[in-house]
Structure 1
Amino acid sequence: MLHRLRARSQRGAAVVDVVLVIVVLVPLVLGIVQVALVMFVRNTLAAAASEGARLAATADRGPGEGVALTREQVDQAISGRYAQDVTVRRVLIDGAPAIEVTIHARVPALGLGGPAIELDVAGHAIEERP
């Protein structure tokens, strides 16, 4: 009889345990997914900016072609919305003339919307001399 009373008083405890575990695990998993998304976008933007800077720094090409290549690569890899704010400028790196391509992007929470993380990513290349 005592065993039956204990079993009855424990009824529903598994549901409570599952809910308590889910309350902790879901935000943790969503946080990991958000960090992975931001890192993926940042790495993709850095690679595209570097490629754009390399193209713009070649002797027979110009800054406009570097920006176009950067936008094209970002559009193909992730989404064109991340390539809206691409700038190019001439800079000096250790006294040598160089090209810098900078991408300013906003990565929304889980890629859905809401609060966004601002990213500024730059790629550099030393200019070729004819």
Structure 2
Amino acid sequence: MAEQQRGRCDDSGAAVVDFVLVMLVVIPLVLGIMQVALVMHVRNVTTAAAAEGARAQAALDAPPGAGEQRTRTQVEAGIGERFVRSIAVAPTTVAGSPGVEVTVVSEVPALGLLGPGMTVEVTGHAVSEVAP
């Protein structure tokens, strides 16, 4: 009986070691996916806000600053003001017609909600309405 026990290998601590080794791979992978999702969310929200702001400014009787205000409102509703660095509205030409361009520059933290950021710049265009 003693000879049978001497040949056996004790695996009682192997599960803990396996768990730690797997978590060393899984945790950075999950955090990386979450970071990409955060950057994509900020980019999508700011792109939609820039396009909406351009359409608001391109309206026939739009007051000056309507595009910037509409963009700022959309960004605040979607992601909050803290990500946005600047919003610029400028006249441009869209397919040969007079138009409006709204550019939003935002900064997304590179390490989740903390740490240094990466800059995301998006632009929205709209053709200006003209009186008939």
Q: 1:89 matched to which residue of 2?
A: 90
Deviations 1:34-81 (A, max 9, x none): 111111111111111100000100110044111011001111111111
The equivalent of 2:68 in structure 1 is: 67
TM-score (norm 1): 0.91
Q: Where do 4+ consecutive residues of structure 1 move more than 3 Å? A: 1-5
For 1:16, what is the secondary structure of its paired residue?
Answer: helix
Q: Give aligned pairs, total.
A: 129
Moved more, 20-29 or 62-71: 62-71
* Structure 2 segments unaligned to the other structure (5+ residues): none
Q: Quick check: which has more Rg, 1 or 2?
A: 2
Could you say which residue in structure 2 is the equivalent of 1:120? 121
TM-score, normalised with respect to structure 2:
0.89
**Percent identity (aligned):** 50
State the Cα distance separating 1:95 from its structure 2 match.
1.5
Asked if structure 2 preserves the Cα contact closer than 8 Å seen for 1:49 and 1:103, the reply is yes
On the 8 A contact 1:48/1:73 being kept in 2, the answer is yes
The answer to whether residue 32 in structure 2 is matched with residue 26 in structure 1 is no
Deviations 1:84-104 (A, max 9, x none): 400010111222111000000
Structure whose residues are more often helix by fraction: 1
Q: Which one has the bigger strand percentage?
A: 2
Structure 1: runs of 5 or more not aligned: none
Q: CA deviation at 1:83?
A: 3.2
CA RMSD of aligned residues (A): 1.6
The letter for the 1-side match of 2:89 is V
